Chain A
Amino acid sequence: MLDEILKSIVEMEEEEAIKKAKEYLDGGGDPQKLLEVCRDAMGEVGARFEKGEYFLSELILGGEIFKQIMEFTLPKIKGESVKKIGKIVLGTVKEDVHNIGKDIFKVFAEASGFEVIDIGIDTPEEKFVEAVKEHKPDIVGMSCLITAGVTSMKKTVDKLKEAGLRDSVKIIIGGGRVDESVKEFTGADAWADDAAKGVRLCKQLIGVEG
């Protein structure tokens, strides 16, 4: 059964996957195991994306299926502990309102065991600083889809420095407008313009095997 669920997700069979996941839980299946299988499925979707076999359309649909299954699975796990491997504060930077990429990255990061605190879009530098103070994350993730956001990211990194918080976190930037030179310019620790790679790098940044 779990194998079939995994296959349905990876093959993008939305209705099938959800139906089978429900059946599995209704039949007394272990929600923790279901969660793990869904994570594996998302890992596979991400891997196919990195290989160029899958495209954004599949990442989006995969994320959607995952979210829908989680809606009825997570409440069954709460109480028992869902082990988290690390915490990420994530937002789209100031002046930028694109959220699709950020949300996909979020789903993939959550699927691989990160706790993600999403602070939204068009996020002022100060809001990142406050979120870091409040949530004490391991990683700050910034999503940037427009060129104007590049300076916003630099300013955010500078503000974190000013607040004396820079060394307490790793910073990863993502989204269509980042590359090596943007990473250098902003002073981030890593960059990724695809979600699967981003998650891999996040694990590396905090020293977790990926």
Chain B
Amino acid sequence: MKSPEELAKERLARIEAAVNLEEPDRVPFSGVGGDVIAAYAGITQEEFCFDYDKAKEAIVKFNRDFPCDWTFAAGFVGVGVPPFTYAFADDPDVSATVGMAMFGTIHDIIGDTCTRYPGREIERNCSPQFIGGKFMEPEEYDDLIEDPVKFIAETIIPRICRNMNTPRKAMAAMIRLGMEAEKIKNFAIEVGKELAQLGYPAIPITLGYTPLDLIGDGLRDELNLILDLRRYPDKVKKACEALVEPILKAGLALKPLGVKYAFIPLHLNEYLSPELYNEFYWPYLKEVILGFAKEGIKSFVFFEGRHDAHLETILELPKGWGIAYFEKTDVRKAKEILKGHTCVMGGVPISLIVGGTPEKIDAYVKELLDEVKPGGGYILATSVGIAPRETPVENIKALIEAVEKYGKY
């Protein structure tokens, strides 16, 4: 029996070898998370989002019973409000404490209208939802460009947050946030401790954003933004440029905690033709990735949807820049193009885990690994980490066993 420390060391080495484009002892495996964590612990989504103790127990129980190398997906309990993160980009201490918190308790305090939580706006057992919205008019691009942090903090936040739309309410909300911050910090520390006892390596992560996605998710709404690209192209580009700095600042606020990776989930990549991608999206995403790299932080980019049309652009980044996690892009194809340059992650459709059988999963993983394992630089994960409540646990087990069986080098 290995000690937790030995186990954690082994797992970390496995992940780092893959990131460094080498062959570890076995293909590293990042497990599933999401709604199934609460369901497995027998608690409601409401409890999972609002009760720190129950959430902690659920996370620990799940990670004990479904071990993996990197418990990335199993750490989130809620959804965030993107503009909120960047409202404090100029105040790194604040940003590091509440800017990235994704909890129901924060939702209650600020009263934001761009997320919906179980037991509040939606049923107790629904998972929390980010619903976005339009909080900015096209005429306001100039204000955003001139001073993005001020504009987000002083104009956008009062529009998004019911409890921050007058100075008095905003002051009260900020004090309540300050009081809650301590609990959130304790929660994170406690979860970290317990996971360490289970042999999980500590891999602190910060958050990054693509400027265009921040405008789409947090300010203009995706659909309006797509139309803006044709209607106000210059303003959109200037706004993207202006957002690079606050995005980096907020991300780097966590640097003192020893973060090694910046997680950057992409949203609009799949929407855009290569022309639009190369004009409005990629140059600024690249700036963000390189900005983190300069500070010794590797980017961990989740390429949502199909990224096929833009795969080659990844080669413009320096070799070993980070991790490319793919959702619907065929990882076999991605690996072919990116081998020796970028660590590739993904490969198992989540629908297979939800609707498949252990036999099917076994056969799928065997075939997948035959193709993508050779040469290293690969982390196995489901296409998205969020597994719904009804996910059969025997399928999660089957996935874990299949990686053990076919993943050895």
Contacts and interface: CB of A to CB of B under 8 A. Distances in A.
A115 interface: no
B31 interface: no
Contact of A147 (B226, B272, B309, B351): B351
Nearest to A100: B223
Contacts of A54: 273
Given A52-B309, A97-B129, A100-B223, A57 B271 contact: yes
Contacts of A146: 386, 388
Nearest to B126: A95
6 contacts: A55-B273, A147-B350, A147-B386, A151-B388, A181-B355, A182-B351
Contacts of A97: 129, 131
Given A14-B230, A55-B276, A57-B229, 15 more contacts: A55-B273, A57-B273, A57-B276, A100-B223, A146-B386, A147-B351, A148-B388, A150-B351, A150-B388, A151-B354, A151-B390, A176-B328, A179-B349, A179-B351, A182-B351
Q: Which 4 A-B pairs have the closest CB atoms?
A: A56-B271, A185-B355, A55-B273, A148-B388
A60 B271 contact: yes
A57 B230 CA distance: 10
A151 B384 CA distance: 17
B127 interface: yes
Interface string A30-71: 000000000000000000000010111110110010000000
Contacts, number: 71
A148 B271 contact: no
Nearest to B360: A181
Nearest to A99: B223
B270 interface: yes
A8 B316 CA distance: 35
Interface in B357-393: 384, 386-390
Most buried by B among A60, A97, A147, A181: A147
Interface in B294-352: 305, 309, 328, 349-352
Nearest to B131: A97
B327 to A, nearest CB: 9
Interface string A1-22: 0000000000010100000000
Nearest to A186: B355
B227 interface: yes
B167 interface: no
Interface in A83-118: 95, 97, 100
A150 B355 contact: yes
A120 to B, nearest CB: 13
A56 B270 contact: yes
Contacts of B23: none
A207 B296 CA distance: 60
A192 to B, nearest CB: 14
Contact of B223 (A58, A60, A177): A60
Contacts of B389: 148
Contacts of A181: 349, 351-352, 355-356
Contacts of B213: none
Contacts of A184: 355
B46 interface: no
A68 to B, nearest CB: 11
A147 B231 CA distance: 34
Interface string A140-154: 000000111011000
B35 interface: yes
Contacts of B217: none
B112 interface: no
Contact of B351 (A12, A58, A95, A177): A177
Which of B35, B127, B231, B271 is most buried by chain A, counting CB atoms within 10 A of its CB?
B271
B69 interface: no
A55 B309 CA distance: 10
Contacts of B355: 150, 181-182, 184-185
Nearest to B130: A97
Nearest to B116: A97
Interface in B68-89: none
A88 to B, nearest CB: 21
A12 B230 contact: yes
A55 B35 CA distance: 32
A14 B227 CA distance: 10
Nearest to B391: A147
Contact of B226 (A60, A148, A177, A185): A60
B227 to A, nearest CB: 6
A83 to B, nearest CB: 30
A147 B131 contact: no
Given A177-B351, A181-B356, A147 B227 contact: no
Given A56-B270, A60-B223, A147 B305 contact: no
B28 to A, nearest CB: 23
Given A12-B230, A148-B389, A150-B355, A58 B127 contact: no
A177 B131 CA distance: 18
A60 B309 contact: no
Contacts of B349: 179, 181
B224 to A, nearest CB: 10
Interface in A159-183: 176-177, 179, 181-182
B214 to A, nearest CB: 18
A57 B278 CA distance: 13
A58 B273 contact: yes
Contacts of A177: 351
